[in-house]
């Protein structure tokens, strides 16, 4: 199985395109039944209009977090292609909201959605071909490099030499897109059945993933439900919005946050097949700059509106963008296009304003806690669990509801052997569980554990088992999460839920313990398991929603 850090770094550079694995086969798998209270606590359903694509791909998704920001092991020609695809036919928030208001929820069938993905990928390929040699903002690429990308796609899908054929560029793009989406099993799928593609390398899967992000957000949500939901699957999902623009050197248009909050609220209110528990983003750098420009502005206004009025369930933070949970007065931000005059101390002021408000209003926080998606040089280390001690030790914040996401990769692990101190982030987090009563962690993007053939699986499972044996409290704080749609880049992502269930069994969790991991713990973290401000807000917002009523009021 491929981790988030290794996925695209192993052979998608300009000189390494030919090193990518070839097409392979995917094993048959089952879609497990889960309790009706199961919750996917970590997901995303944003599309290509909602992120600054060049910065998102260049500085976050496809860059080694330990490397300088301008050290790009990935072909910038490939980034240019992904950018073209992710903006081809991709609806904006206003357009999607208008569609929902006029037509309601009428998701396309899975074959129809894939046909639209294929059309959008073809349009992106055609635009890429027509634009070869032209510069795209934020990228430095050449025609030769772009031709190599095009030729690599053609070679992988059995169309070598296509660029030099007599076909028009538009026809070449349609031929390649048809091969990229060529299935081994045609027709409609049953719930949980895997769409098996002829060409399955990470390179080609990433192109299909870019096509996924051209969909309306509600169709990305519907795909999440098709993969892991349904009548006997997960019925509650917690997607997080993101706000990255202030950290990126690129200047790109993205959907305004206020528009996204309106759209995601409408989806949550009326989406009939699942309970959608959105998390609003908070960027302390943006907040500090807003406060500097206008001292009277309420920098929490979007968070407050989302939670108090629009049915959002919490707040999402991304420390690896370039900030510590606390103590930013010692951080020098050198890679962002603009920084506050007061430096990192201004970020602390905004963060503690958020923490205090969340604690007072029983609002949970979800924070990225894996050394990845770093916007600056080595800022992935800012996601370390230990950094949160300075927050939770502050008066009034010990009971803050906090989920430190992406447990179990042991990316910072010491050499094989006994557990050590100060190296494994997971070990540090587990020690913190015994001190902070509302600290949780999730298993999203737990790819090293869910694939029995992963070479890292024995080490990961041994270390998790050892931690559980030492600190059984882990079972009461561990939460299932998928990290959809980010995990959609991994060819074997349809098996994720089944793989997690198998891993929990291999850890010898009994049925009651597994149910806590799959939903019971998340219900407590979200404030849904008992009365209080959070439960009252969500009960009022979701009153009459069929899934909410069935789970909580029947």
Does the structure show a pLDDT above 90 at 137? no
**Residues paired with 366 in a beta bridge:** 316, 403
pLDDT level of residue 163 (50, 70, 90 thresholds): confident
User: What's the pLDDT at 26?
Assistant: 34
Band the pLDDT of 285: cuts 50, 70, 90: very high
Beta-carbon neighbour count of residue 349 at 10 Å? 17
Mean residue pLDDT of the chain comes to: 88
pLDDT at 61: 67
Instruction: Please state, in angstroms and rounded to a whole number, the distance separating the CA atoms of residues 439 and 525.
Output: 8
Which residues share a beta bridge with 439? 402
Q: How far is Cα 296 from Cα 323, in angstroms, rounded to an integer?
A: 24
Compute the distance between CA of residue 516 and CA of residue 437 in angstroms, rounded to an integer.
Answer: 16
Say what the pLDDT of residue 72 is. Answer: 42
Confidence of residue 185 (pLDDT cuts 50, 70, 90): low
pLDDT recorded at residue 19: 29
The helix (H) or strand (E) run that includes residue 260 is: helix 257-270
Predicted pLDDT at 523: 97
Cβ-proximal residues to 145 (8 Å cutoff; 6+ apart), any chain: 14, 75, 76, 77
Beta bridge partners of 314: 279
394, two tokens: 């502050």
**C-alpha to C-alpha distance for 64 and 67, rounded to whole angstroms:** 5
Say yes or no to pLDDT of 232 above 50.
yes
Integer-rounded Cα radius of gyration of the chain: 22
Q: Which residues pair with 405 in a beta bridge?
A: 368
Residue 8: pLDDT band (50, 70, 90) is very low
Mean pLDDT over residues 122-138, rounded? 88
Structure tokens at 366: 């979800």
* For residue 181, pLDDT beyond 50: yes
The two tokens of residue 524 are: 């407590």
Listed range (55-59, 189-193, 283-287, 292-296) with the worst mean pLDDT: 189-193
Distance CA 491, CA 21 (A): 11
For range 279-299, the mean pLDDT: 98
Whether 93 and 159 have beta carbons less than 8 Å apart is answered as: no
* Cβ-based burial of 361 (10 A; exposed 0-12, middle 13-18, buried ≥19): middle
How far apart (Å, rounded) are the C-alpha atoms in residues 307 and 315?
Answer: 9
Structure token pair of residue 490: 């991994």
Lowest mean pLDDT among 4-8, 457-461, 525-529, 542-546: 4-8
Q: Is the pLDDT of residue 412 over 60?
A: yes
Q: Which of 86, 100, 97 is nearest to 49 (CA)?
A: 86
Six-digit token string for 236: 């509650």
Task: Kindly report the number of other CB atoms within 10 A of residue 472's CB atom.
Answer: 10
Q: Give the separation between CA 267 and CA 277, rounded to whole angstroms.
A: 10
DSSP characters over 446-514: -HHHH-TT-TTHHHHHHHHHHHHHH-GGGGGTEE----BTGGGGSTTGGGHHHHHHHHHHHTT--HHHH
39-43 β-sheet, strand order: 39-43, 236-239, 275-276
Rounded to an integer, the average pLDDT of 117-135 is 93
- The pLDDT-based confidence of 372 (bands split at 50, 70, 90) is confident
| C-alpha span between 368 and 240 (Å, rounded) | 11
Q: What percent of the chain is predicted at pLDDT more than 70?
A: 87
Quickly state the pLDDT bin for 5 (edges 50, 70, 90).
very low
DSSP 3-state of 169: helix
Please state the rounded mean pLDDT for residues 370-382: 87
State mean pLDDT over 189-193: 54
Helix (H) or strand (E) holding 405: strand 402-405
Sign of the Cα pseudo-torsion (21, 22, 26, 27, in order): negative
Cα 51-55-57 angle, rounded to 5 deg:
85
Residues 484-497: tens digit of each pLDDT: 999 998 888 899 99
420: pLDDT strictly greater than 70: no
Band of the pLDDT at 413, cuts 50, 70, 90? low
Q: What is the pLDDT of residue 190?
A: 56
Inform me whether the pLDDT recorded for 99 exceeds 50: yes
* Mean pLDDT value of segment 184-209: 75
The arithmetic mean of pLDDT across residues 233-247, rounded, is 96
Lowest model confidence (mean pLDDT) among 19-33, 196-210, 290-304, 499-513? 19-33
Model confidence pLDDT, tens digit, residues 424-475: 899 999 999 999 999 999 999 999 899 888 888 998 999 999 999 999 999 9
Binned at pLDDT 50, 70 and 90, residue 374 comes out as: confident
Instruction: Tell me how long the chain is.
Output: 554
| Per-residue model confidence (pLDDT) at position 414 | 47
User: For tokens 């030769």, what's the residue?
Assistant: 144
| CA pair distance 370, 367, nearest whole angstrom | 9
More confident residue, 259 or 58: 259
In the prediction, which pLDDT does 416 show? 45
The candidate with the shortest Cα–Cα distance to 204, out of 317, 106, 81, is 81
**pLDDT tens, position by position, 461-480:** 999 999 999 999 999 999 99
The structure tokens 């931690």 sit at: 467
Do 270 and 218 form a contact (C-beta atoms < 8 A)?
Answer: no
Q: Supply the pLDDT for residue 16.
A: 38
Is 291's pLDDT higher than 50? Answer: yes
């Amino acid at each position: 199985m491929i981790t988030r850090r290794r996925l695209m770094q192993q052979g998608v550079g300009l000189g390494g395109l030919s090193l990518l694995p070839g097409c392979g086969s995917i094993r048959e798998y089952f879609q497990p039944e889960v309790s009706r209270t199961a919750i996917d606590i970590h997901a995303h359903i944003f599309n290509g209009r909602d992120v600054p694509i060049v910065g998102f791909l260049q500085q976050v998704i496809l860059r080694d977090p330990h490397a300088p920001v301008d050290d790009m092991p990935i072909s910038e020609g490939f980034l240019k292609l992904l950018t073209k695809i992710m903006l081809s036919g991709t609806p904006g928030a206003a357009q999607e909201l208008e569609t929902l208001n006029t037509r309601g929820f009428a998701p396309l069938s899975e074959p129809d959605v894939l046909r639209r993905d294929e059309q959008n990928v073809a349009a992106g390929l055609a635009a890429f071909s027509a634009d070869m040699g032209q510069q795209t903002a934020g990228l430095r690429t050449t025609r030769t490099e772009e031709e190599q990308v095009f030729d690599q796609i053609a070679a992988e899908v059995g169309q070598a030499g296509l660029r030099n054929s007599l076909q028009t560029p538009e026809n070449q793009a349609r031929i390649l897109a048809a091969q990229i989406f060529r299935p081994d099993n045609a027709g409609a799928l049953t719930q949980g059945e895997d769409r098996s593609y002829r060409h399955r390398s990470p390179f080609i899967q990433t192109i299909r993933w870019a096509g996924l992000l051209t969909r309306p957000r509600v169709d990305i949500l519907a795909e999440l439900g098709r993969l892991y939901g349904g009548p006997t699957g997960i019925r509650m999902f917690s997607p997080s919005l993101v706000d990255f623009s202030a950290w990126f050197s690129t200047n790109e248009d993205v959907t305004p946050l206020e528009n996204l909050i309106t759209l995601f609220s409408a989806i949550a209110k009326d989406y009939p097949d699942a309970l959608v528990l959105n998390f609003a983003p908070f960027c302390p750098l943006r907040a500090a700059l807003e406060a500097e420009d206008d001292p009277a502005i309420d920098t929490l206004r979007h968070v407050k509106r989302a939670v108090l009025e629009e049915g959002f369930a919490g707040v999402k933070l991304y420390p690896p963008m370039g900030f510590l949970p606390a103590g930013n007065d010692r951080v020098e931000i050198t890679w962002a296009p603009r920084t506050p005059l007061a430096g990192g101390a201004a970020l602390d002021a905004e963060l503690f304003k958020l923490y205090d408000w969340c604690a007072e209003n029983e609002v949970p926080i979800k924070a990225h806690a894996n050394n990845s998606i770093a916007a600056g040089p080595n800022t992935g280390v800012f996601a370390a669990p230990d950094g949160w001690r300075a927050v939770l030790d502050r008066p009034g914040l010990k009971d803050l509801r906090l989920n430190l996401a992406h447990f179990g990769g042991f990316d910072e692990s010491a050499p094989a052997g006994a557990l050590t101190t100060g190296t494994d982030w997971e070990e540090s987090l587990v020690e913190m569980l015994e001190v902070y009563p509302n600290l949780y962690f999730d298993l999203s993007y737990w790819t090293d554990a869910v694939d029995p053939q992963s070479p890292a699986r024995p080490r990961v499972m041994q270390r998790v088992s050892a931690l559980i044996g030492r600190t059984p409290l882990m079972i009461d704080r561990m939460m299932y999460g998928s990290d959809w749609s980010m995990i959609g880049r991994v060819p074997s992502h349809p098996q994720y839920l089944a793989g997690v269930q198998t891993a929990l069994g291999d850890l010898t969790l009994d049925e009651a313990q597994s149910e806590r991991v799959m939903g019971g713990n998340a219900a407590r973290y979200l404030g849904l398991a008992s009365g209080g401000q959070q439960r009252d807000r969500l009960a009022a917002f979701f009153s009459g929603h069929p899934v909410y009523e069935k789970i909580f009021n029947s």
